Amino acid sequence: MNQQSVRVRFAPSPTGPLHIGGVRTALYNYLFAKKNGGKFILRIEDTDQNRFVQGAEEYIVESFAWCGIEFDEGLTKGGPFSPYKQSERKQIYAEYARKLIENGSAYYAFDTPEELSVLRKQYETKKKTFTYNWRVHNVLNNALAFGKEKTEQIIASGIPYVIRFKMPENRTIVMDDLIRGKVEVNTVVLDDKIIFKSDGIPTYHLANVVDDHLMEISHVIRGEEWLPSLPLHILLYKALGWETPQFAHLPLLLKPDGKGKLSKRDGDKLGFPVFPLQWNNPKTGETTRSYCEDGYFPEAFINMLALLGWNPGDERELFTLDELSRIFSLDRVGKSASRFDPDKARWFNHQYLIRKNNEELTLLFLPVLIEKGVLTDSSFVAKVVGLIKDRAYFVGEFWEQSYFFFKAPDEYDAKAVKKHWKIKSYYHMVELKEILINIDDFSSENTETIIKNWITEKKYGTGAVLNVFRLLIVGGLKGPHLFDIISLLGQQETVWRIEKGLHELGRNE
């Protein structure tokens, strides 16, 4: 492959928030460009004004900024093929539509929506489906039926028209897809698609092909849902006398149970996010959850998406965007659809969380502590974070895993008290308190050795003593290694918590 010539694009329609399937498509394009020293372009395909949603374009740009996916050219970047928004390129498409008419690949059609709807109904009553194609196009209201002169008269009289592509009757189109291999379709099953609408705006098909050509796109990497449009696109390239780019259609993302495509609505229904950033629906006022607001790190999100359909060829699972940029290839994108696994997404976040240094995590945790009214120095928080991060998937879980480092228990878990607070417990704790007061080196290892030796010597039973000890320090039977906890709390606080527990739980007689 000529390394200089790789140019790929992500071409979303701003019809709503970007779903993770779209982010994956963009990511694979980005990685492919990086791997091949190419360029990655963001083009907005907004020819269908009826489906335009306020804020969607900004959302797309902000989502990629959050993900760390950068474009080389496009919407916010500009570049040699500006503008990158189809609504600002309207005048370009008309010229190509005219060219297609002139060379007989397309024709004017005047059928009104009402006429077409009547035809559809007539076919339905005969249990057939109406298709605007070679079987019927010579007898409908169009240039093929009327001839050149009459067509020109109609147009001159101001009657609205669309332009349809004249799909050949019986031709096998052979498509070479970089992921699916060879795909063949006979045009007999295809219709004469509208490529230019009566409002003077092209449909997706024409605009997409024209722009991919003019923007010198070398590889079209997009979702499998566009595969049915590929024969038309290939014929459009041919009819315009252009070379086709290479195509790669990415398999679908499926719901976690494998039943059906992962849709925009699944996130709220199935309890996991499907959008990168929070989306406030301007029409309904509803807000949908997202990876960012749910506490995912963008690196974890990207890593998870990269592996949903692509594999590195070995067992490795953790990759930075840079590493992915070096090893990504379309040969390792599977042909079959990938099932989205929300647990695996959480797992990825956990992997990134435990690898982050404690100081960085502390900065993320501090606002929570402030909100909880905890004032403490950040080096202490960093130590706490170091002890608990192994147990959390998200920074948002840190408080639940660590609140006992910041305040002594107000109450003690009733079940644990019932089970473990025996008559002897009180006396064990009184004795333990004396031992703790006399320890000089309050490190985790030293306190553990001294206390375990004492338990063994006295034959008190490790469980019996340590469960109660933990209960008084933490308020329940949870948390990291007990000796790590007390070492961090320090001698004074540890002793005080035992005294408090003795006082509050009292003798159990």
Q: Point out the residues that are catalytic.
A: 264
Q: Does position 298 bind ligand GLU by CB under 6 A? A: no
Q: Between residues 29 and 349, which has the closer beta carbon with respect to ligand GLU?
A: 29
Distance of closest approach, residue 81 Cβ to ligand GLU, in angstroms = 16
Q: Between residues 30 and 319, which has the closer beta carbon with respect to ligand GLU?
A: 30
Answer for which of 8, 21, 45, 302 binds ligand GLU (CB under 6 A) is 45
Query: How far is CA 310 from its chain centroid?
Result: 15
Stretch binding ligand GLU (CB under 6 A), from 5-13, 106-114, 293-301, 324-332:
5-13
Total residues interacting with ligand GLU, rule: CB under 6 A: 8
Residue 477 to residue 426: CA distance in whole angstroms: 17
Q: Between residues 38 and 409, which has the closer beta carbon with respect to ligand GLU?
A: 38
109, two tokens = 């059609």
- Note whether 24 and 66 are within 8 A (CB): no
Residue 297 to residue 361: CA distance in whole angstroms: 11
Distance of closest approach, residue 44 Cβ to ligand GLU, in angstroms = 9
Q: Between residues 52 and 394, which has the closer beta carbon with respect to ligand GLU?
A: 52
Residue 194 to residue 192: CA distance in whole angstroms: 7
Query: How far is CA 135 from its chain centroid?
Result: 44
Q: Considering only residues 177 through 206, tell me which ones interact with ligand GLU, judged by CB under 6 A.
A: 204
Cα dist from 447 to 57, 400, 452, 484, whole Å: 59, 26, 8, 9
Q: What share of the chain is helix, strand, coil (3-state, %, to 5)?
A: 50, 10, 35
Answer for which of 52, 130, 226, 347 binds ligand GLU (CB under 6 A) is 226
Distance of closest approach, residue 227 Cβ to ligand GLU, in angstroms = 11
Q: Between residues 45 and 73, which has the closer beta carbon with respect to ligand GLU?
A: 45
Stretch binding ligand GLU (CB under 6 A), from 7-15, 246-254, 360-368, 383-391:
7-15
Cα dist from 401 to 4, 34, 392, 395, 417, whole Å: 51, 40, 8, 10, 20
Distance of closest approach, residue 13 Cβ to ligand GLU, in angstroms = 4
Q: Between residues 7 and 428, which has the closer beta carbon with respect to ligand GLU?
A: 7
Residue 362 to residue 355: CA distance in whole angstroms: 13
Q: Considering only residues 11 through 30, tell me which ones interact with ligand GLU, judged by CB under 6 A.
A: 11-13
Q: If residue 122 lies in a helix (H) or strand (E), which one and from where to where?
A: helix 113-125
Distance of closest approach, residue 308 Cβ to ligand GLU, in angstroms = 18
Query: How far is CA 53 from its chain centroid?
Result: 20
Rg (C-alpha) for the chain, rounded Å, is: 33
Distance of closest approach, residue 48 Cβ to ligand GLU, in angstroms = 9
Residue entry with tokens 């990938």? 338
Residue 420 to residue 406: CA distance in whole angstroms: 24
Answer for which of 222, 350, 389, 497 binds ligand GLU (CB under 6 A) is 222
Binding-site ranges for ligand GLU (CB under 6 A): 11-13, 45, 204, 208, 222, 226
